[in-house]
Amino acid sequence: MLYLHAFLVISKFSNKIYLIMTKAEIVSNISNKLGLEKNETQKVVEHFMDEVKNSLESGENVYLRGFGSFTVKKRASKTGRNISKGTSIVIPAHHVPAFKPAKTFVESVKSKVKVK
């Protein structure tokens, strides 16, 4: 049997309640489901995250069929404001990591998560 443990988080900005899952809970669920030791499962999860991070840091995208794509996106330079000083600053162009879920993943979430 797989137990789902998650935290409830209340946003201080919108007073909305969010249900979140931590890395430790992911490790615990995988460990219980597959009958593996938690420390070994944690190593696998952390190595997976390191591989994704290292690939993105080197400019390579990561595609996981049926799950989604981790990509590097370029943000153009723009002018911002320093509100405390009242001055304009230039924010240089930079790259950021992004995740785009696969269509099958999106459809699965749409069909299983009900609108409140």
Q: For residues 16 and 41, give the distance between their C-alpha atoms in angstroms, rounded to a whole number.
A: 33
The mean per-residue pLDDT over the stretch 61-73 comes to 97
Instruction: Please give the pLDDT value at position 43.
Output: 97
Q: For residues 48 and 101, give the distance between their C-alpha atoms in angstroms, rounded to a whole number.
A: 17
CA proximity to 72, closest of 87, 86, 93, 45: 93
Which domains occur in the chain, in start order? 1-59 (no CATH), 61-110 (4.10.520.10)
The confidence band for 116, taking pLDDT boundaries of 50, 70 and 90, is confident
Claim: this prediction has a pTM higher than 0.95: no
